[in-house]
Chains A and B, each alone.
Chain A
Amino acid sequence: MSSHTLSVRLENKPGALARVSQLFSRRGYNIQSLAVGPTERADISRLTLRVDCSEHSLEQIEKQIHKLVNVLRVTELTHDNSVERELALVTVAVGPERRADLVSLALAAGARVADIGRDAITLEVVGRPEEIEALEELVRPFGVRELVRTGRVGVRRPSSTNQQPKGSNGRDRHVR
């Protein structure tokens, strides 16, 4: 078992997202994170899915997603060939006496202050998933009241020259 990121381009049609997500539960695969949003074209959405599964299951998932009528393309994003980012909002319980410590730590870690309350601060951070996790660890001792992550989104690096993984049918898996 290992984690994989799949990028799915799909038609922006009613129910299209539901068709992808029901396929995962139906076939017994667990989605770790899912982010969906518009793309450069209004009629196309992009889904970035994070799943924990074996190589064999991953191939099955890709093939099953391919068969969905609304799906235009499925690509696996790997660490080497893609840029991946995530956004997190963290509300940290902190009174005036330790506020300055937290803020300077957060700024040093690349976060921004999104809101300040009497006894709490909300930080926002955008970065690679590891950076999000690092910030989370950093502020945890202060007392994390709430944390929300968008789930990762990704695109292939224009600079990447890696070949796409091949499917068992001998063709590029992402080509329909």
Chain B
Amino acid sequence: MAKSEAISWFRIQEMFRFQAFHMYGIIGTAVTLGVIGVALIKKFKIRDFHGNPISFYPKEKSIIRYLLGGIIFGLGWALSGACPGPMVVNIGYGFLTMTIVFLFALVGTYLYGLIKDKLPH
């Protein structure tokens, strides 16, 4: 993650400005390999370590929550330049101020839990 610079605010800005292939290459590679792998697991019904079939949980059908939630997430992503995983990689990397972002992400998660039932899903 750190080596691919996906944890850099600069790279996220560059991505949202469509000025380099970098981030699309990283995500695209992961998704392409992912699609192939998931298809293979389903086709050959590959079992996991415990011998249980690997199942995929379809997310609940809805548009509004994914769109609205996605937009809010995107706003935060472009502002802080970090999604949850890279936040903690940054902290390990020595950007300790990222701890603020992480703590407020916890607050945000808590807020969602608090008002969940009042939001359209």
Chain B associates with chain A: no
